[in-house]
Chain A
Amino acid sequence: MTCRTIMNPDPPVLLATETVGEALNRLLTRRYLALPVVDDDRRYIGLFAKSRLFGLMLPSIVALEDMLPKIAHLTDLAYLSDDLDDLRERFARFRDRPVAKYADPEAPTLRPESPLMEAILLVFRTRNFVPVVEPQSRRLVGVVSTWDILAKLQPER
């Protein structure tokens, strides 16, 4: 069994030209954890996750931590006294920027031919859904989520 069998072939997506503000609305209204970002030809650009929005609220050095040695990580931010107004002001700087700029192109993806167990492992590790991308065309052909896999465990009727 492959990803093609279990994936959702028509997932909700964000267009590259949509703004961060519009993306936030989509995430908030449907309670999505993340959405894949695609261009007009449905070519996959990256994953825009709720956590990325949080990253925009934090000092930019924190958003880079994954790429830095541990010794360069800030221990805590308890010494900052920012309030909600400060966060709103900071978010306002990003609100009108295109969401493509903040999509993570390094987030793990699957191929339509990826085996079922590879998909389960990635979904387990990301605790989210995983985009399924055609390797040649880089087109998004679906997503595999915990719900898709769990639904397949139900006895077939």
Chain B
Amino acid sequence: MPALPAGEMTVLGLPAMWVAAALLLLTYAAVVSEKINRAVVAMLGATLTIVLGILSQEQAVEGVDFNTIGLLTGMMIIVAVSRRSGMFEYLAIRSAKLVKANPAAIMAMLQIVTAVMSAFLDNVTAVLLVVPVTLLICERLAVKPYPMLVALVFAANIGGTATLVGDPPNILIGSRVGISFSEFIINLGPVVVVIQLVACLLFHLLWGRRLSTTMRARAQVMAFRERSAIVDPGLLIQSLAVLALVVAGFVLAPELDLEPATVALFGAALLLLMSCLRRTADAQTRSVSQSLEAVEWITIFFFIGLFIIVAGVESTGLLDLLAEELLAFTEGDLRITALAILWASAILSMLVDNIPFVATMIPIIEEMAPTFGGEDRLMPLWWALSLGACLGGNGTIIGASANLAVAGLAERAGIRFLFLQYAKVAVPMMLLTVAIAMAYVELRFL
């Protein structure tokens, strides 16, 4: 434990505050550069925080938000098991057939499906489940997949904004501040619906209405037998039951005095248990290994490392100083502070990964509680941070993990996903969505 007050700590003869800040900035830079895997960067930054004496190992472990880690891991396992039923392909094909395989309408339908899925699963998972079937449908319709993919990226980031579990920034905010699943939906759901509908309309005007195909190609898609996509009906029933139970658990978590991580991990354990029943020990081991392999350990270790780095910066008192500076800039006005956070989050999330940004902003906002008269008065700031960080990520290919995942997948499929080409469409659309969010924050919370 440091014996000196936070601001007076030194590391290697230098003020600890600046060493910790340098570590955080280096981590940001390394993550943005993408030269080194982000999990490695975060692990290195976290261990250096301990090696340099900014935090002890015990303090570092305390800095990790295991509610976020448990929630992410639990949901990843649930998706890994349930996707084997074929339910997500069924959903995408059914949506395409519902609109008679009309390309423009498919584009709108798949955006809605992705947005809804993204509200209950993390964004990357949602797009990775929908994009392969989308590419297959585009191939059969002989339409360019690029417009659909960009629209899906937007839908994933917009839909994820609506719930506690939909987007990593929300998981971070909800877990640290104790905002429930229901509170997220009640407070952000309405504006997310409006923004998604506006996005659907804009994508239709921009690209959708020009997508055309032949009747023969449409007939090919209409010939898809979506029922055959369900390869394991038993698993489908189990998955739907567990997903319903988990969503109910999220909604009732505050009344049951449970954390979302417990709900997600319980659901994951239940689904794994059901997949083990009536199987030999070897088959159980194979099935469980397969499910656990699907956990994105890179994301999990990235979060763990990041929590420790931010805890290190927080322990030095630097974030208190930044909070004071932000308050001085906004003259302690809640409205100006909320709008500044919304726009700063949106612009910065467009340029840097929104996860480290939000992880850094949370303690800064917490420091503002005394100025605004208590923690309850901070709620508009949390909604502003969530909306800004989640929607801002749409602006560039590097703005959010879902964008990078789709861009990477598209490149491998031979679809060019260029930074400027994407930004030309995405930046104005992102700014419009944030403007809608600004109006909403002003009207609803200020």
Contacts and interface: CB of A to CB of B under 8 A. Distances in A.
Determine if chain A interacts with chain B: yes
Interface of A: 59-61, 64, 67-76, 78-81
Interface of B: 79-80, 83-86, 89, 93, 125, 128-129, 131-133, 135-136, 139, 223-229, 231, 293-294, 296, 409, 412-414
Contacts of B128: 68-69, 71-72
A64 B294 CA distance: 18
A67 B412 contact: yes
A120 B108 CA distance: 54
A115 to B, nearest CB: 32
Contacts of A61: 132, 135-136, 139, 413
Contact of B409 (A68, A74, A79, A80): A68
B412 A64 contact: yes
Given A60-B139, A79-B93, 7 more contacts: A59-B136, A64-B413, A71-B83, A75-B83, A76-B89, A78-B225, A79-B229
B117 to A, nearest CB: 12
B413 A60 contact: yes
A138 B298 CA distance: 36
Nearest to A68: B409
B89 A74 contact: yes
Contact of A81 (B225, B229, B293, B294): B225
A69 B296 CA distance: 9
A72 B131 contact: yes
A71 B80 contact: yes
B439 to A, nearest CB: 36
Nearest to A58: B136
Contacts of B412: 64, 67-68
A69 B404 CA distance: 13
A79 B226 contact: yes
B294 A79 contact: no
Contacts of A67: 412
B89 A79 contact: yes
A70 B139 contact: no
B239 to A, nearest CB: 12
A78 B228 CA distance: 5
19 contacts: A59-B136, A59-B139, A60-B139, A61-B132, A61-B135, A61-B139, A64-B412, A68-B132, A68-B409, A69-B128, A72-B129, A72-B409, A75-B85, A76-B229, A79-B89, A79-B225, A79-B226, A79-B228, A81-B225
A79 B140 CA distance: 13
Contact of B223 (A59, A73, A75, A81): A81
A75 B83 CA distance: 8
A64 B80 CA distance: 19
Contacts of A75: 83-86, 89, 229, 231
Contacts of A59: 135-136, 139
Contacts of B135: 59-61
A78 B229 contact: yes
Contacts of A80: 224-225
Nearest to A59: B136
B80 A79 contact: no
